Amino acid sequence: MSCSKGHHCCQNLKPKNAMPEMVSIVDIKNENPFVKTFTLDCSVDGQPGQFVMLWLPRVDEKPFSIAYDDGQNLELSIANVGTFTEQLFTKKPGDKVGIRGSYGKTFQYEDGEHLVVLGGGYGAAPLYFLAVEAVVRGCTVEFIIGARSAEYLMFEEKAMQLKAVKVHVATNDGSRGFTGTSVDLLNHLLNEGMKVDRIMTVGPEMMMKAVSDVALVRDIACQVSLERYMKCGFGICGQCVVDESGMAVCMNGPVMDHKLARAQAEFGKYHRDKVGRKKEW
Amino acid sequence: MNLAIIYNNVRFKNPLVLASGILGVTGNSLKHVVENGAGGVTIKSIWLKEHIGHPNPTMIGNEHFFLNAVGLPDAGIEKAKEEIATYLKWAIQEDGSVKAPLIASVVAGKVDDFGETAEQVAELKPHLIEVNISCPNVEDELGKPFACDFNQAARVTREVKKRVSKIPIIIKLSPNVSNIVEIAKSIEDAGADGLTCFNTFGPGMCIDIETAQPILANRVGGLSGPGLKPLVVKMIFDLYKAVKIPIIGTGGVLTGRDVIELMMSGATLVGMGTAVYYRGVEVFGKVAEEIRQWCEKNGVEDISEVVGRAHQ
């Protein structure tokens, strides 16, 4: 950003977008009884695994993983889990919300690879986006999703419509597909001889830790997506820093190699709340 | 050439300090900033008890300015003890030398609580204590900052100095006053060992014109960023003439040239915070290298030579 004299001229300062822009909701779709996908009339040039900050004036602003961005419309798949999402769920097509981003790192893989994407709960949304892009890049994808029971599953039918993507479903209660966790299903498929170049996983941290353990033992490349409390999204508020490296997850993640995640003493153990206090998972 | 600076008998390997409120939530975060080149670090302001801060949006900005109202969230003194211990364990080496000194920022709503917080923090043995009497975005809760009144500013200084004798006390000033020299002098007379100049400006406000709503949840927030630097340089210039205690200059610094400019106006150390937004956490190492290059090109062998040079 310097000019030749070492000055920093205004025109060379191009910091990350840090100002919300109001955009319209163009469509709202139920994914399951708890999750809605909001389609917005904007693009943030988002990549799978990246996130945006969603602002509801006079309420709050929270980070959400990008469920889809085709260059025209941004989609966010959001579970109703708290006061913020309760407010969001009252919105209708035509209403406006604030968006800034995209932020964070995306998944890394090579063209033509055979990938496992493994989503727990809401993690299926960014992984569907990833699968769409991976197929365009000549990859084949094993799409593993798991949930407590069938009613919590997301994106199963959408993923089934993708060419070169094979969908595998696990439910804890056996109400659909394999009985057990998505990690049990991964182990089952690997034991049956499934070959894979890379595993990408998004979901609860303890689940991702278990996936990472499998990948480590079997020597398979693996990427995880860490969720930490975030305020700014661009590496200065310090809320999402992790022990012991001290790096900010919003800049060095959320998607990172599982070995980098494992090098963090807190991975699979704790995270921090809005005042920076440690909270065990 | 020598980039090291001695400030209140504490040695900094270079004059660059992480300003309070940016990144300093954990001990390991401070370590990360030092690994990226900072000469010293300031921990995010410590309260005696948990303080929640404001909802989001708390930080907004663009290429011209940055506006924040994070509202000083902190888990309180117990968490601070753990984080400071984590940092000092890493920073203090076997031979007793320090990789980068720790400045512990303390904040409170009442004069007595400043004393109590500083006393408890002093037990953790940070190298310096910075007293934050100037945050512009907690006015709804705490009233006008103490730094805006020379009597109040001096009262806090005396209270903290009375209860902490072994660690230098730095008072962080507000730029949002008409009598900065008078306030700084009253703080010096009350026994302060140094000044941090300055906290953010304003407060300011940004309104989203689609919804006609202020964007920050707190409606108003402290202004920072490159455009403020001439105001900071001028006020530090005035203060350098008026007080003898050394100054940590902060405000609008993004480059090595900016650091030299603040030091020439009278700053001994230079804080950077918003610069992390513009240039990433790597900014500290980059700026240190820019300072070195400028000094070598301009025949400066010791960086301390430039302090106050604009007054010669």
Give B58's contacts in chain A (Cβ within 8 Å).
231-232, 237
Domain count, chain A: 2
pLDDT at residue number A161: 97
Residues A189 and A234 in one domain: yes
Instruction: Tell me, yes or no, whether A50 lies in a domain.
Output: yes
Tens-digit pLDDT profile for residues B77-119: 999 999 999 999 999 999 999 999 999 999 999 999 999 999 9
Residues A126 and A232 in one domain: yes
Which of A74, A103, A132 lies at the terminal end of a domain, its last residue? A103
B74: nearest CB among A241, A242, A275: A275
Residues A40 and A63 in one domain: yes
Give A60's contacts in chain B (Cβ within 8 Å).
55-56, 217
Give A238's contacts in chain B (Cβ within 8 Å).
22-26, 29, 44
Residues A140 and A43 in one domain: no
In total, the C-beta contacts within 8 angstroms joining chain A to chain B are 156
Using a CB–CB cutoff of 8 Å, tell me whether B208 touches chain A: yes
Instruction: Tell me, yes or no, whether A266 lies in a domain.
Output: yes
Angle of CA points B28, B33, B34, to nearest 5°: 95
* B140 has pLDDT over 90: no
Residues A233 and A141 in one domain: yes
Going from the C-alpha of A23 to that of each of A52, A127, B62, B117, B217, the distances in angstroms are 13, 24, 19, 45, 19
Using a CB–CB cutoff of 8 Å, tell me whether B45 touches chain A: no
3-state secondary structure of B138: coil
Instruction: Tell me, yes or no, whether A132 lies in a domain.
Output: yes
pLDDT at residue number A63: 97
CATH number where A145 lies: 3.40.50.80
- pTM, to two decimals: 0.95
CB burial string B9-35: b at 16+ within 10 A, e below: ebebbbbbbbbbbbbbbbbbbbbbbbb
CA distance A267 to B112: 40
Domains, chain B, in order of start with CATH, read 5-311 (3.20.20.70)
Instruction: Tell me, yes or no, whether A2 lies in a domain.
Output: no
pLDDT at residue number B198: 97
Concerning whether B206 is annotated as a catalytic residue, the answer is no
Which of A103, A131, A161 lies at the terminal end of a domain, its last residue? A103
Residues A238 and A132 in one domain: yes
- Domain extent for A67: 21-103
Using a CB–CB cutoff of 8 Å, tell me whether B225 touches chain A: no
B267 DSSP β-pair partners: B247
B197 DSSP β-pair partners: B249
Binary contact (A248, B23; C-beta < 8 A):
yes
Tens-digit pLDDT profile for residues B5-31: 999 999 999 999 999 999 999 999 999
Residues A140 and A273 in one domain: yes
B243 CA to centre of own chain: 18
In order, the DSSP letters of B211-234 are TTEESSTTS-EEEESGGGHHHHHH
pLDDT at residue number A1: 44
Binary contact (B58, A1; C-beta < 8 A):
no
Tens-digit pLDDT profile for residues B117-132: 999 999 999 999 999 9
The yes/no answer to whether this complex scores an ipTM above 0.90 is yes
Contact present, B168 and B139 (Cβ < 8 Å): no
Per-residue pLDDT of chain A (281 residues; tens, 9 = 90+): 445 555 554 446 678 899 999 999 999 999 999 999 999 999 999 999 999 999 999 999 999 999 999 999 999 999 999 999 999 999 999 999 999 999 999 999 999 999 999 999 889 999 999 999 999 999 999 999 999 999 999 999 999 999 999 999 999 999 999 999 999 999 999 999 999 999 999 999 999 999 999 999 999 999 999 999 999 999 999 999 999 999 999 999 999 999 999 999 999 999 999 999 999 99
Which of A51, A76, A103 lies at the terminal end of a domain, its last residue? A103
Instruction: Tell me, yes or no, whether A15 lies in a domain.
Output: no
CA distance B309 to A253: 44
Residues A235 and A196 in one domain: yes
Residues A185 and A57 in one domain: no
pLDDT at residue number A4: 52
CATH number where A39 lies: 2.40.30.10
Using a CB–CB cutoff of 8 Å, tell me whether B58 touches chain A: yes
pLDDT at residue number A3: 54
Binary contact (B226, A58; C-beta < 8 A):
no
Catalytic residue among B135, B148, B197, B295: B135
Residues A149 and A92 in one domain: no
Binary contact (B280, A276; C-beta < 8 A):
no
CA distance B248 to B192: 13
Shortest distance between the Cα of B64 and any Cα of chain A, in A, equals: 7
